[in-house]
Amino acid sequence: MQNNVEGRRASCNRYGDDEMTRCKVMLVATLLTASTTGLAGVSAQEAEKLGKSLTPIGAERAGNEDGSIPEWTPIEPFGKASGEFPNNPEVEADRPAYLVSAANVDQYIDKMSAGHKELFRRYPDSYKMIVYPTRRVANFPDRIKEETIKNATRASLNGVDDPQGAFVGFPFPIPQSGAEIPWNHRSKWRGENIRRYNNQMIVQLDGKFSLTKIVEDVQFDYASIANPNPAELQPGTTFIRYLSQTISPPRIAGTYILVHEKAGFGPEGRAAWLYAPALKRIRRAPAVCCDNPYEGTDGHQFYDQVDMYNGVLERFRWKLLGKREMLIPYNSYKIAGDSVKYADIAQPGHINQNLPRYELHRVWVVEAENKPDQRHTFSKRTMYFDEDTWNIVMIDDYDHQGQLMQFQEGHLVQFSAMLASTTVPEVIYHFNSGRYFVTAMFNEDEPYDNTVTYDDKFFEASSVQRKASK
């Protein structure tokens, strides 16, 4: 710990006066937080529950008392790692269990997020939730499960941005604090590498939309089962390498964003670069962070809303509120598949609610409250994490007047060949304007390619400059 502190203090000294002062203030604040909230792994006795009463990644193995949530029954891998849209024929053959509409919403109100309640209030004639039998079939590769069990006793979190002692698997399968759970989401298994389309649309009040097409290349350095010498999840260590290229529309085509995602903050944390076609050069981009608008989204998505939530945690106080049974988007293969067009998804007010699938699941609920001395557009975020995958599936975002400002909804699917779960698409409802933003779509393009490989220089800024200049 002491060596880490000295290294971070030295890193701060590389900055100019103003930035150096802020860096050192943040360092002191984090160390003070770490002295009171730093948590080591759970006891060996507690960890023994993993793989028994708990699943290997920390969910309750048993169903609930009335049977509406069944026992965990994981699938075995099937399908292809490229050229195939996410699917599960057995799950997709299910018939709906019931429909929630304005006529009966009060019966299910205690199972809903604030965002879903608001959508029912605003659109009583069109908003609905088609609820299916709950399927708890999400699984992970054996090594992810094995390392997750080991992480339970060896991983720790100092403050909120300094994980240590975790390797390969979910770092905190038996969470002891609110800040530990987002780290499970951020470091989750998604395959070794991915090339994917991340298409986005801004939907106006009348349902008309503008489309942006993006191709992303991603290498997952931390959650890698192929790496014989895995890196520890700790400040300064890169755990994700990311490169995006905007294909259309013409006004932003040729834009590249390069990110080396790291734990920690300041000089130890995220390193990002932006290539703008008008400038014809790649530059460091510290603004690729937090509540700065993602390039090309016209302010409809912040950088820390990518993948529901990502980036530093230090701007918020994190509180673990416990678990709830809630209706969440789950096994939503139809809306993610190639039988659906982008125009089928977009409707006035909200996405086409004939397409998503909802199920009753247990979720971890975490509240993030903006620190008074750390600026952010949101004063509070209430996040809902699926217990079986650690994916964030919903977020209620509040402004500084305490009003619900935005609602994020991620439609969870599993890529069965990889045994990797993620949310596609993701929706951000802007209640102040009535517009909404849909991202992570690839329905009309190629499905994920998990077979792609990258050389050592692919994610270097100089390589991106050469690629963009061709």
> With bands split at pLDDT 50, 70 and 90, how would you rate the model's confidence at 344?
very high
Q: Is the pLDDT of residue 23 over 80?
A: no
Whether the pLDDT of residue 24 is over 60: the answer is: no
H or E element in which residue 467 lies? helix 461-469
Residues in the chain: 470
Q: What is the pLDDT of residues 166-199, one digit of tens each?
A: 999 999 999 999 999 999 999 999 999 999 999 9
Whether the CA torsion 151, 155, 157, 163 is positive or negative: it is negative
Say which DSSP state 110 is in.
G
What is the band of 217 on the pLDDT scale with cuts at 50, 70, 90?
very high
State the sign of the Cα–Cα–Cα–Cα dihedral 444, 450, 452, 457. Answer: positive
**pLDDT, average across residues 235-253:** 97
Give yes or no for a contact between 117 and 110, defined as CB atoms under 8 angstroms apart. no
Report pLDDT digits (tens) over 249-308: 999 999 999 999 999 988 899 999 999 999 999 999 999 999 999 999 999 999 999 999
pTM to 2 decimals? 0.92
Q: Where are the beta strands (DSSP E) in 12-152?
A: 98-100, 129-131
Residue 38's pLDDT band (cuts 50, 70, 90): low
| The pLDDT value given to residue 265 | 86
Segment 448-461 mean pLDDT: 97
Q: Is the peptide bond preceding residue 249 cis, with omega within 30 degrees of 0?
A: yes
CA angle 221, 227, 229 (to 5 degrees): 100
Tens of pLDDT along 298-334? 999 999 999 999 989 999 999 999 999 999 999 999 9
